[in-house]
Amino acid sequence: MQYIQTLYRIERDIKLLSAEAKQQVRQSRSVPVLNELRSWLDINLLVVPPKSTLGKAMNYLHKQWDKFTVDATNGRLRIDNNLCENAVRPFMMGRKSWLFANSVAGANASANLYSLVETAKANGHEPYAYVKRLLTELPSANTLEGIERLLPFNFKPAVLNAA
């Protein structure tokens, strides 16, 4: 837990930095912590019974190591997915009472719409304006490049919101 707490403390320290600066700090401060954690994990995987609660957690970390450490290679990435979890929480709380999600097709349609809305928000767009423009321009997007141009991160918020 101390290793994880140290990693989160570093993230708090660099919260306001640019992506490039975050990556530099992670390389200098987080990577050594990750290396220590990896060493500890390699030693203790051999000692802790694999079916114990701690053993299961350690084996999970071992199997997910590449995913766990990827944020150290890119300053745009976050250490966790808490923002995503928090964004979908309201929908998860209400899913049992929503009539339109009582089929697989309805659930897929809802998930796609929620994903679009939350991705638009994450990229600084007003969701209604983004979805309106998307639905207006999508029928004329005949190529993969045309569809990719419609992704929220390819729009500048001022350009989109002015439309």
Judged against a pLDDT cut of 60, whether residue 99 lies above it is answered with no
pLDDT for 24 equals 94
Model confidence at 105, pLDDT cuts 50, 70, 90, reads: confident
Sign of CA dihedral 80, 36, 67, 156: positive
Gap between the Cα atoms of 113 and 108, Å rounded: 9
In this structure, how many other beta carbons lie within 10 angstroms of the beta carbon of residue 30? 21
Gap between the Cα atoms of 40 and 32, Å rounded: 12
Model confidence at 81, pLDDT cuts 50, 70, 90, reads: confident
